[in-house]
Amino acid sequence: MDAPEFRDLLDYLCCDIKSPQEREDVRAELYDHLLSRYEIDRATGMTEEEAEADAERALGDRELLHKSLTKLHRKTASDRLRTAFILLGLSASCFCFVLSVCMDARSGFFQHIWFWIAMLALPFLCQLRWWGTDARLQPALWLRGGMCFAGVCALPFIFYVMPDAERTTLLLTVYLCLETLQLLLLLLGLCRIVRSYEQSRSARRMLLLSCGLLILYAILFWYFFLRGGQLSADTFSAEGIGTSVADMTSRNRNYVYRLLASYPVWISLYFCYNTLKWNAVRLEFHKPSLRLFAAMLGVLAAAIFVSTAWYINRQPETAAYAVDDAALSQEERGRICAVLKTYGLPDDVLAQLPNSELQQYASALPCKESDASCDYLNPPDPLLKNYPLIYNDLKFHEYAILLSETETTFTVRLLCHISYAENEPHAYRRRMSLISYDSHLQPTDIGTAQADGPRKADAGRFLLLLYENGDQVRSGQPLHTQARKIRDTTHSVFSFEYAERNCTDVFYAQTFAAEPYVCNEEYTYGLSYVCTRFTQPFSLQFDTLDDPAFGINPFQKETTYVVGQSSATTFGAQMQAREYTHHTYLPLQAEQMIAAGATADGGAEEEGQ
């Protein structure tokens, strides 16, 4: 007679173990136990029937054993796999988040706070859900939770204290180290789980799937960080990453980021659903009708979520705008446009400028909008040579740059560029708008900042207009650019990275709306541009105009810089005219300012000599 199979007993003991693989394993283990006992009993002289009965009896209370095994194996391998999925998804989400925070000019604290909340909550939900089930995944979970907690605690510091460049470097360095450690812990935990499931097909599948996810993660990492970036030693410098990430965020690849960034939301919904389901089971709501109802609720929730996500993702980068968003008569509008035209803005771009923008510009122009006597159509001083700028009542400063690639030469026209001395309290706002050839985006207010002390607010008021003459830029793909402050010095140094390389004309104008202030310290003029990744060699010509306040050209000369052919060339130029020290600008009339400018002229000439 063959060895007994103990089928009935084993069937009963293992029938409520969820995972097929675990059920098979437990069954095999118990079968080995019963057979061992059976063989020994047989060796002691028992009959087959006696030995079989004794083996079953020795196993004890079958009811109790059944309950214990069912309870212990309530969590299945698929639960662990879900944990792995969640952890990997969180990794990808964090990754995208860091990218967006570092480089997206439109990102900010409040835009991402929801993300951080989800990131903080999810690891703990994971731990609660699988608490005590498998200790091998706990280190990775705890590390993830710790990372999120630390991230939330450090967020105000990161956003409001650290300068951009340092923020980028620190964030990326710390994040990458922790992420790597977390992935190693996760992989280690998965390997240990799989090792205890030898000969298990599902375990192998789990391992393969995990490896696949890790590879996918690595590909994403490579894609976002390195592709389009500078594959050189300085890849991880702020500028290098900025270039590559600008590539990523500036194109329609944004959907990848959004998809991954929405991962925590999906998982949160899953948890809600799962909790409801478990509660329903506990309350014995297992009737088919109730299950159907629950399924319908789930489908409805999923539909709502998907439609909401779709709607949000369908939103344009900025809200729709109306040209007549502020009261401005056609006549006034025509006058202001006429003046702006003298700055190089073409008619089609001017036609798209909303009234509010025009009004703001008008306030910075030589002729005030409110000045009825001003002849806009014949601006008295289109080049601002006699611009009555009153520094002690500083409202707006502006400079404009006209970049043209028509003869592979970029001409920069500097009207005025103010940088604030260190330790001067000031506040200013920055706005940015993008105009492409056939689409216009509403100027986006990207934040108001105020700084008291040595740190300069990472703000200012921007109006950025990009347009192109050809058809290289397709409809619906607005040009993007990024302006960010890369150093905190007494000079405001910004870099502008043009993600679209085919644009042929770029007009850049910037205004600072500043609070009245008194400058008692150093006062400098400075200009710095970093032009990166132009595919064609070109020269950059700084064609500076006379400084309106002092009646001279602070740079005194035109300078041409020739840039190499490498697409990865980072070109930087900084011109500093001179320092005006210990000037106190008190309430003065325009005549007094001119007199002050004359004094400064003398100083400049002396320095020039």
Partner 1 sequence: MRINKELSKGSNALMVLSVIARQDMYGYQIVKTIENASEDVFVLNEGTLYPILHALEQNGLLDAYWCEVDGRRRKYYRITEKGRKELARRRAEWDVFSGAVAKVLGSAELAQG
Between CA 45 and CA 50, with CA 49 as vertex, the angle to 5 degrees is 50
Using CB under 8 A as the binding rule, whether residue 592 contacts partner 1 is answered as no
Looking at the Cβ atoms of 11 and 471, the one nearer to partner 1 is 11
Q: Are 520 and 414 in contact (CB under 8 A)?
A: no
Q: Are 506 and 376 in contact (CB under 8 A)?
A: no
Q: Are 541 and 403 in contact (CB under 8 A)?
A: no
Looking at the Cβ atoms of 39 and 452, the one nearer to partner 1 is 39
CA–CA gap between residue 118 and residue 111 (Å, rounded): 13
Using CB under 8 A as the binding rule, whether residue 25 contacts partner 1 is answered as yes
Amino acid identity for residue 320 in this structure: A
Looking at the Cβ atoms of 7 and 62, the one nearer to partner 1 is 62
Selected range binding partner 1 among 23-31, 83-91, 325-333, 421-429, rule: CB under 8 A: 23-31
User: How many residues bind to partner 1 according to rule CB under 8 A?
Assistant: 32
Nearest distance from C-beta of residue 183 to partner 1, angstroms:
20
Characterize 264-292 residue by residue with b for buried, 16 or more Cβ atoms within 10 angstroms of its Cβ, and e for exposed: bbbbbeebebeeeeeebeeeeeeeeeeee
Over the Cα atoms of the chain, what is R_g? 34
Using CB under 8 A as the binding rule, whether residue 196 contacts partner 1 is answered as yes
Token couple for 243:
């270039």
Task: Please select the residue that binds partner 1; options are 23, 112, 136, 491, rule is CB under 8 A.
Answer: 136
Using CB under 8 A as the binding rule, whether residue 135 contacts partner 1 is answered as yes
Cα diameter, the chain: 123
Looking at the Cβ atoms of 180 and 199, the one nearer to partner 1 is 199
CA–CA gap between residue 187 and residue 115 (Å, rounded): 25
Dihedrals φ, ψ of 120, to 5°?
-75, -40
Task: Please select the residue that binds partner 1; options are 106, 117, 120, 133, rule is CB under 8 A.
Answer: 133
Using CB under 8 A as the binding rule, whether residue 26 contacts partner 1 is answered as yes
Using CB under 8 A as the binding rule, whether residue 173 contacts partner 1 is answered as no
Nearest distance from C-beta of residue 9 to partner 1, angstroms:
10
Which residues in the 34-73 window bind partner 1 by CB under 8 A? 35-37, 58-62, 64-65, 68-69, 72-73
* Residues sharing a CB contact under 8 Å with residue 8, sequence separation 6 or more, in sequence order: none
Selected range binding partner 1 among 20-28, 153-161, 220-228, 438-446, rule: CB under 8 A: 20-28
Looking at the Cβ atoms of 62 and 582, the one nearer to partner 1 is 62
Nearest distance from C-beta of residue 4 to partner 1, angstroms:
13
Nearest distance from C-beta of residue 94 to partner 1, angstroms:
26
Looking at the Cβ atoms of 52 and 164, the one nearer to partner 1 is 52
Task: Please select the residue that binds partner 1; options are 5, 11, 29, 317, rule is CB under 8 A.
Answer: 29
CA–CA gap between residue 330 and residue 439 (Å, rounded): 22
CA–CA gap between residue 499 and residue 236 (Å, rounded): 18
Rounded to the nearest angstrom, the gap between the alpha carbon of residue 281 and the centroid of all alpha carbons in its chain is: 41
Using CB under 8 A as the binding rule, whether residue 338 contacts partner 1 is answered as no
In this structure, what DSSP letter does residue 529 have? E
**Cα distances (Å, whole numbers) of residue 538 to 231, 280, 561, 563, 566:** 22, 69, 9, 6, 11
Nearest distance from C-beta of residue 11 to partner 1, angstroms:
16
CA–CA gap between residue 382 and residue 364 (Å, rounded): 12
Nearest distance from C-beta of residue 50 to partner 1, angstroms:
17
Nearest distance from C-beta of residue 298 to partner 1, angstroms:
30
Looking at the Cβ atoms of 72 and 177, the one nearer to partner 1 is 72
Using CB under 8 A as the binding rule, whether residue 199 contacts partner 1 is answered as yes
* Residues sharing a CB contact under 8 Å with residue 13, sequence separation 6 or more, in sequence order: 26, 27, 30, 62, 65, 66, 69
Nearest distance from C-beta of residue 133 to partner 1, angstroms:
6
Looking at the Cβ atoms of 30 and 563, the one nearer to partner 1 is 30
Which 3 state secondary structure label does DSSP give 607? helix
Q: Are 56 and 6 in contact (CB under 8 A)?
A: yes
Using CB under 8 A as the binding rule, whether residue 23 contacts partner 1 is answered as no
Looking at the Cβ atoms of 9 and 148, the one nearer to partner 1 is 9
Our CA dihedral for 360, 363, 365, 370, rounded to 10 degrees, sits at 120
Looking at the Cβ atoms of 41 and 405, the one nearer to partner 1 is 41
Using CB under 8 A as the binding rule, whether residue 195 contacts partner 1 is answered as yes
Dihedrals φ, ψ of 506, to 5°?
-130, 130
Looking at the Cβ atoms of 31 and 523, the one nearer to partner 1 is 31
SS3 content of the chain, % helix, strand, coil (to 5): 50, 15, 35
Task: Please select the residue that binds partner 1; options are 7, 192, 227, 582, rule is CB under 8 A.
Answer: 192
Looking at the Cβ atoms of 66 and 583, the one nearer to partner 1 is 66
Instruction: Give me the residue label for tokens 């910075």.
Output: 364
Binding site for partner 1 (CB under 8 A): 25-26, 28-33, 35-37, 58-62, 64-65, 68-69, 72-73, 132-136, 192, 195-196, 198-199
